[in-house]
């Protein structure tokens, strides 16, 4: 077997089909940027699924290895925006109309990643109406516990008083922050030596969210640089929509516990 055969390079390198007429030099950059992002998302999903299964099996050490890999992928995805940022508004305008109604908003894999991290939005499934395979995949993920959900289940198995309503909820609904859970997380941060692997996992999850927010921010600034405050393709709101996404948190209690630490109120 050759290198090209093993990697199916004939298929991979024949998957770029610029549509502009006449051809535009910069369209290939735009296509490859988004295709490579989708390949990285595929690996993120692969690693997050494994991490979730491992946490559910009380195997934190290999789960943290998976999350460490995801963090490196996130760094690559964020850095990738600097390549697309070399595209000027004038260059993009020359081929933008050939995108028609396509939009990154329609990325199935991105939505799967968000669902896996806990940003469950049942209405988003309708974006994929007309694609039964995509709808089925999203519906399945919608009803699975998120990475955070399985972590909270692990905390309960370890004897920490996680509120029952967080352990027996409808997984398809958006997660609602719990003041009582902040008290539980505070116990971990008050005695990291006792809860070391849990404490470490908390910090890994914070890293994961920080990296995701950095990716969102770089996305926002790249879009802003190229199209300003104009609407995105496919009718999306563009920069305002991306800015609202920065306010979303996957693991809110892991951030709010920091306020207690800063104020010296842990253990009160």
How far apart CA 127 and CA 183 sit, in angstroms, is 38
- Give the pLDDT of residue 235: 57
The CB density around residue 261, as the number of other CB atoms within 10 Å, is 12
| CA atoms of 118 and 148, how far apart (whole Å) | 7
Distance CA 35, CA 16 (A): 9
DSSP for 235-250, please give it. G---HHHHHHHTT--S
- Is pLDDT of 267 > 60? no
- Listed in sequence order, the DSSP H helices in 85-107 are 89-93
* Binding site feature residues for heme: 219
7: helix, coil or strand?
A: coil
> Residue positions in the annotated binding site?
30-34, 92, 96, 219, 233
Binding residues for substrate: 30-34, 92, 96, 233
Q: Distance between CA 225 and CA 99 in Å, rounded?
A: 19
Q: What digits encode the pLDDT tens for the residues 113-137?
A: 999 999 999 999 998 998 999 999 9
**What band does 233 get if pLDDT is binned at 50, 70 and 90?**
low
- 15-42 residue pLDDT tens: 999 999 999 999 999 999 999 999 999 9
Range 18-88+103-228+236-263: architecture per CATH: Up-down Bundle (1.20)
CB 206 within 8 A of CB 68: no
- How far apart are alpha carbons 239 and 230 in whole angstroms? 8
The pair of structure tokens assigned to 17 is 């089909």
Average pLDDT, the chain: 93
pLDDT in tens, 47-65: 999 999 999 999 999 999 9
pLDDT, tens digit (0-9, with 9 covering 90-100), for 146-173: 999 999 999 999 999 999 999 999 999 9
- Here the tokens at position 32 are 């490859």
- Distance CA(241)–CA(259), nearest Å, equals 28
Q: 246 CB contacts (<8 Å, ≥6 apart)?
A: 213, 216, 217, 220
Token couple for 176: 């609602």
What whole-number percentage of the chain has pLDDT above 70? 96
Coil/strand/helix, residue 21? coil
């Amino acid at each position: 077997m050759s290198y090209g055969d093993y990697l199916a390079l004939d298929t991979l390198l024949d998957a770029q089909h610029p549509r502009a007429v006449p051809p535009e030099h910069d369209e290939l950059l735009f296509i490859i940027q988004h295709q490579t992002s989708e390949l990285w998302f595929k690996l993120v999903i692969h690693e997050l699924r494994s991490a979730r299964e491992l946490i559910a099996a009380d195997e934190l050490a290999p789960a943290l290895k998976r999350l460490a890999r995801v963090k490196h992928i996130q760094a690559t995805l964020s850095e990738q925006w600097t390549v697309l940022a070399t595209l000027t508004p004038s260059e993009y305008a020359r081929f933008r109309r050939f995108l028609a109604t396509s939009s990154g908003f329609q990325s199935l894999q991105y939505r799967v990643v968000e669902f896996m991290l806990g940003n469950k939005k049942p209405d988003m499934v309708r974006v994929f109406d007309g694609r039964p395979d995509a709808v089925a995949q999203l519906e399945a993920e919608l009803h699975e516990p998120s990475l955070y959900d399985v972590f909270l289940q692990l905390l309960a198995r370890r004897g920490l008083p996680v509120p029952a309503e967080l352990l027996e909820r409808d997984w398809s609904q958006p997660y609602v922050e719990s003041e009582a859970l902040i008290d539980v997380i505070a116990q971990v941060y008050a005695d990291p030596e006792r809860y070391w692997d849990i404490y470490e996992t908390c910090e890994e999850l914070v890293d994961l969210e920080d990296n995701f927010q950095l990716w969102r921010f770089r996305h926002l600034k790249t879009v802003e640089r190229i199209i300003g405050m104009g609407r995105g393709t496919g009718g999306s709101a563009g920069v305002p929509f991306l800015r609202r996404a920065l306010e979303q948190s996957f693991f809110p209690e892991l951030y709010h516990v920091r306020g207690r630490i800063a104020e010296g109120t842990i253990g009160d």
